[in-house]
Amino acid sequence: MKIFMAGCEGLIPYQASSFAGIKNILFSYYHLGSKMSDAKTLFSLMNKRDQEVICDSGLFTMMFGAGKGKTYSYSELLEYTKNYIKTAKQFGVNRLTIVEMDTHKILPINQLWEFRKHFEDSGIPTLYVWHLEETIDGLFKLAEKYNYIALSVPEIRILCKDKKTRYQDVVNDLLYKIQKNVGKVPKIHLLGNTVMETMETNTAYSCDSSSWTYCVRHARCHFYMDGRIQQKYLGRKSDQKYLDLFKEETKLLIEKNDELKEFLVGKTDKQRDYFLQLVFSATSFQKYQLKLNTKKPYEVPHEKKLQHSRIADRSDQAQSLES
């Protein structure tokens, strides 16, 4: 599964991911708004490094994150959408895909089609996101029309009605339904997936994760150990061995990369430590990605034997999920 490193709307996390050799990144249009002064440099570097880039609309953040508690009208979201598309056209990013405004949770479902029309007319490669409100028939229409679509991980959580159900089982079941009813199966992106067990399957083509940026705020780092990603705290005496390993490996990274060495010049100790924690975590994910590429390469869905486990039939929120 291809992992897109989310949270790259700022130069600091973006540069950290690049020094780690990350080729697939995701940034949020919503968060980019406060960092527009860095945008020109950011996009130039993306093209220089030939990276595959996804730009998320930021609607989820507006609803459940920084914009939580606000009420958004149709006209406000439409204006936001038009500005989003207009700005995306000006990015100049060569390998860019943008995520639609998946307004399923805050506007009537019939208005979703109006928003999608704007994205279809934009000419920009767009990732359309399935939610339960569209019902299974809506998923079939997306699969029939597009070759690359997204499943919202919060929706998958709803379908996982008990802890024994795995994300990959739900995804596999939905793919089975698509294959049975549509014939062709599109590539799937899991939007907001941080579950390693799911990453280690080839059920979906890609996913994104921002967890690599969160841990460093609490003096933690992601370590690639025994083929897995593990979070380790760098501030306890009992974990001194991880701090020593962190210092040893970041020292080697700096010695091998003149650009990284130059980037750190003039930084305070606090800035330097924070940035190196980001680089270290991103490097761990890059090692993990290389392992996934070798162990579980993506397979074209229609060439796999998809089995129906009836997992996705158990949702109380979409009656037409029945077979």
Provide the pLDDT for residue 301. 61
Assign a CATH topology to domain 2-215+294-312: TIM Barrel (3.20.20)
Provide the pLDDT for residue 308. 53
DSSP characters over 134-168 = GHHHHHHHHHHH-SEEEEEHHHHHHH--STT--HH
pTM for this model (two decimals) = 0.89
Provide the pLDDT for residue 295. 80
Q: Mind listing the pLDDT tens digit of every residue in the chain (323 residues)? A: 999 999 999 899 999 999 999 999 999 999 887 677 778 889 999 999 889 999 999 888 777 666 666 778 899 999 999 999 999 999 999 999 999 999 998 899 999 999 999 999 999 999 999 999 999 999 999 999 999 999 999 889 888 876 678 888 889 889 989 999 998 899 999 999 988 889 988 889 999 999 899 878 777 899 999 999 999 988 777 778 999 999 999 999 999 999 999 999 999 999 999 999 999 999 999 999 999 988 867 776 654 555 555 555 544 344 444 43
Provide the pLDDT for residue 118. 97
Q: 240-256 and 269-295 are packed helices; what angle lies between their axes, rounded to 10 degrees?
A: 90
Provide the pLDDT for residue 225. 93
The DSSP bridge partners found for residue 129 are 150
Angstrom distance (rounded) from CA 116 to CA 119:
5
Instruction: Please state the domain extents for the chain.
Output: 2-215+294-312
Determine the residue type at 182. Answer: V
Provide the pLDDT for residue 158. 86
- What is the rounded end-to-end Cα distance, in angstroms, of the chain? 28
